Amino acid sequence: MGIDFKDQVAIVTGAGGGLGRQHALALAARGAKVMVNDLGGARDGSGGSATAAEAVVAEIRAAGGEALANSASVTDFAAVEAMVAQAVTAWGRVDILVNNAGILRDKTFAKMDLADFELVVDVHLMGAVNCSKAVWGLMNAQKYGRIVMTTSSSGLYGNFGQSNYGAAKMALVGLMQTLALEGAKNNIHVNALAPTAATRMTEGLMPEAVLAALKPEAVVPAMLVLASRDAPTRTILCAGAGTFEAAHITLTQGVWLGTDAQTPERLAERLAEVTDPAGQMVPQGGSAQGANEVAKAMAHLGTSAA
């Protein structure tokens, strides 16, 4: 088995069912000690019970693996810190964090209550922030860490009725981009996974034949690669039904148009040229946009940046 997690400790949030359960089982099967976290609530985030997490722990132990259950809400930073402390007390370290916990409260933006928008952002985005923050010091101290954010095509490309979910999921990509840069010096790799899988979260949203093809297990290989010792960093992997793709936030070459009173008109006339994907790049950091813009301006003005 080429990818293994022997002697490593993993925390998987939202692991009481669906995709998170498959992540936890797969990590344990390949040697990881797994903290199975799940609030045990309904799809909309209501309620809570430790039963779901405990059932997955029982599965792992029955297969000869090592696991512990935790029912902390990822929105509660103190509870998340206690969860990390529980893992460290039991196993001495945390190597892997898979931020998978999430809820859905779908409605069109016109009909959506702001409380439902805020709660979805709180669980998906702040939940991942809380968990990542709770392990960040440990990972820096041990000079090793692998963090996987769960993004979504709804965030990357939009989806009708999911403005709250999409906003949270795209925000996770921004979080991933910066944490990957900040963690690089201490061998902390941070990536994002955009799964397409039939879980409790997708019930009623797709035809049965499609749901049958989209088994959660088909997404797991991407997570295993992103959490592995040889993982890339700052990568967005998409996965579903046995197909794997990569998504990129790109920057086109752009066009220098100046800054005079007629610039808006010139931009409107040449917008197709500005948005032309030919020669687009994947910037290595946020400063690349400014560098590209300044370089074009300096070239046009016949000067060079100091």
What residues act catalytically? 165
Check: CB of residue 55 under 8 Å from CB of residue 69. no
Tokens 């392990």 label which residue? 135
Check: CB of residue 227 under 8 Å from CB of residue 190. no
- Sequence letter at residue 267: L
Residues linked to residue 243 through DSSP beta bridges, in sequence order = 240
Which of 94, 181, 82, 176 lies closest to 129 in space, CA to CA?
176
Residues linked to residue 244 through DSSP beta bridges, in sequence order = 239
Residues linked to residue 37 through DSSP beta bridges, in sequence order = 70
Nearby residues of 215 by Cβ (< 8 Å), 6 or more positions away:
197, 198, 241
What CA–CA distance (Å, rounded) separates 34 from 121?
26
DSSP-derived secondary structure letter, 251: B
Nearby residues of 165 by Cβ (< 8 Å), 6 or more positions away:
102, 104, 105, 106, 120, 124, 152, 154, 155, 159
